[in-house]
Amino acid sequence: MYQSSVLPEIDFIFGGGILTIFAHGQTGSGKTHTIDELQNFLSVDLFRAAELHHGDTGKNVGLTISYFEIVGSKIIDLLNNRKSLKVMESKKNKIEIPGLKEVAAQDMSELSDLIQYGKSQRKTESTVSNSTSSRSHAV
């Protein structure tokens, strides 16, 4: 079985789990740079692990991405023309965002393109600390 250098819980992810990367810190502290680097490592690891998982189990693994930002109390879909969405709670107490676009990524290049596109849709403004500070939280 493939042993990931970045993602040891690969069976969890391939079993239908969800991966979220969270960075918290002061403006200008390097959160965006850190997340960008982690996304690069994870893209490589996920697709390499998917190939090896297929070789080990014969099962194909599909990878999808959703990308949204939270601005104040608004949810904006970054992969669907900045469509405004709402966070809802299901009858089973599960948090959902109805209408959030999920896009299948066939390879690392496609995943990278989707991430870059989503990043280009984020709201940024100049601050004293950072000329392109994100004015939202991205998920």
All domains in the chain, ordered by first residue? 10-138 (3.40.850.10)
pLDDT-derived band of residue 135, with 50, 70 and 90 as boundaries?
low
DSSP 8-state symbol, 128: S
pLDDT-derived band of residue 2, with 50, 70 and 90 as boundaries?
very low
Cα separation, 48 vs 45, in Å, equals 5
- Mean pLDDT across 86-104: 92
Higher pLDDT, 44 or 68: 68
Cα separation, 85 vs 70, in Å, equals 10
pTM of the model: 0.74
User: Of the ranges 39-48, 75-84, 87-96, 101-110, which one carries the lowest mean pLDDT score?
Assistant: 39-48
Pair of tokens at residue 46: 């996920």
User: For 21, what's the count of Cα atoms within 13 Å in the CB-facing half-sphere?
Assistant: 19
- Mean pLDDT across 52-57: 81
